[in-house]
Every structure is written in C-alpha cells, then in structure tokens.
C-alpha cells in the first residue's frame, strides 16, 4: 500500500515524529509512506482538518494513495471532515485495539488520530504500537474471524450507500470554493508526490489547471 500522512496546523510540530514512526512500522509490513505535511506550524501552506478531509478524498479517489493517516487535536474533527467527502471511510483511532478492529472489521482506508488529547509521556510508544497493530494483518480479515463474511458484506453495503449519498469527487472539485481547493493542494511536496502516483487523469488535469 501507498500510505499518505496528513497533519493539520494545530499539530504540525509533531509531523516529523509521527512520520518517522509511521514510516518505520509501515515499511516493516511492506508499505511506503508519502508525507504531505504540514511539516511545521509556520508552513506557508496552512492545512485545517477540513482541508485534510478534502485532501484525503483527492488522494484516495485518484489512486495517489491507498490509505491515509491523519488527525487533529482530538482526532474527531479530522474524522468528521474525512467522512464528509467521497471515497473515504475514516475511523477514529486512539490506540492499538482501535487500529486492529478498524482494519479487520471495518476495512476502511483512513484513520484520524488524536495528536494533542492524551498525547503526553509515552506518546511515541502508543504511536508505534498503534501503527504496528494497524498493519499487522491484511484489512478485512474479520473479528472474530467467524464474523468475517457478514462484516465484509456490511462493508460492501456501506460502500454502495456512500456512492448514493456523496457527490462524485469531480463535482466537488468544481463546485467547492476554488481558493480553498488551491490552498489544500499547495503543500511544498504535493506535486512531487501526487502527480506521479495519480491514476485518474481527469482529477490530475483539473488540479493542474488551477
């Protein structure tokens, strides 16, 4: 999997720490990580958790990423924003048990973590254990294992429901405030990571036109 890390402005100072641990644990499982920032609190591009949701949708809808790790102070805002956009199934993950069950039961493609609430002494241990457990098995394996088939069936139903309840990503890109969209994709390394990995030429062409 290609994993994307996105941090919003309130917790941008922790980006390097989160990226280092995420990269190490993801690579153990055979995955790669692209760090979309923010990289520091004073970055020129300022991402809010709402922009994180839009960016996650762009990355997942285009195939530029297979999975997104994001968050905010509590993780709640980022989760809500991510689930407001199409092709994103985001869970609120605070620790290893959340991570494992989300991957196995819900088979989602994005997690939102609290990077301020509860992020104190030993935070790096929780990060490492959470990412290790998240990537310990292929997603969708079920928990308990005998519940695998009905859980997978419900996931497919949810995917179909989201196709009806969400506008297509191209409609959103054209109708959303264009300055807001430009700011969302103006990160220092966005073009470097996104365009070589994007699998949807329509999305790529439209973003380039901005």
Tokens of 72: 């905010």
3-state helix, strand, coil in the chain (%, to 5): 55, 10, 35
CA distance 111 to 1: 15
- What band does 95 get if pLDDT is binned at 50, 70 and 90? very high
CA distance 188 to 116: 24
**CATH label of the domain that carries residue 109:** 3.40.1400.10
Please provide the average confidence, as pLDDT, over all residues in the chain.
98
pLDDT in tens, 44-66: 999 999 999 999 999 999 999 99
- What band does 68 get if pLDDT is binned at 50, 70 and 90? very high
pLDDT in tens, 143-176: 999 999 999 999 999 999 999 999 999 999 999 9
Provide the domain limits for residue 133: 2-209
In this prediction, residue 77 carries a pLDDT of 98
In this prediction, residue 143 carries a pLDDT of 97
Task: Determine if residue 122 is left, alpha or beta; phi over 0 gives left, psi from -120 to 50 gives alpha, anything else beta.
Answer: left
DSSP 22: H
The domain total for the chain is 1
CB atoms within 10 A of CB 149: 9
In this prediction, residue 35 carries a pLDDT of 98
In this prediction, residue 111 carries a pLDDT of 98
Q: What percent of the chain has pLDDT over 70?
A: 100
Q: What percent of the chain has pLDDT over 90?
A: 100
CA distance 130 to 100: 8
pLDDT in tens, 112-127: 999 999 999 999 999 9
- What band does 31 get if pLDDT is binned at 50, 70 and 90? very high
CA distance 77 to 84: 11
Nearest Cα to 111, choosing from 124, 98, 128?
A: 98
Average pLDDT over residues 6-10: 97
In this prediction, residue 175 carries a pLDDT of 98
In this prediction, residue 92 carries a pLDDT of 98
């Amino acid at each position: 999997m290609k994993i994307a890390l996105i941090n919003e402005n309130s917790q941008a100072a922790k980006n390097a720490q989160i990226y280092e641990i995420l990269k190490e644990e993801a690579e153990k499982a055979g995955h790669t990580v692209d760090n979309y920032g923010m990289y520091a609190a004073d970055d020129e591009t300022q991402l809010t958790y709402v922009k994180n949701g839009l960016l996650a949708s762009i990355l997942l809808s285009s195939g530029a990423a297979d999975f997104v790790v994001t968050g905010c102070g509590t993780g709640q805002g980022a989760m809500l924003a991510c689930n407001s956009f199409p092709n994103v199934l985001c869970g609120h993950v605070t620790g290893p048990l959340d991570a494992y069950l989300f991957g196995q039961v819900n088979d989602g493609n994005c997690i939102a973590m609290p990077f301020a609430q509860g992020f104190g002494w030993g935070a790096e241990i929780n990060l490492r254990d959470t990412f290790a457990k998240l990537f310990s098995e292929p997603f969708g394996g079920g928990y308990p294992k005998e519940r695998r088939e009905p859980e997978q069936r419900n996931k497919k139903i949810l995917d179909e429901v989201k196709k009806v309840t969400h506008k297509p990503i191209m409609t959103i890109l054209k109708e959303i405030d264009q300055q807001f969209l430009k700011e969302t994709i103006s990160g220092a390394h966005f073009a470097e990571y996104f365009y070589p990995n994007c699998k949807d030429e329509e999305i790529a062409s439209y973003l380039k036109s901005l």
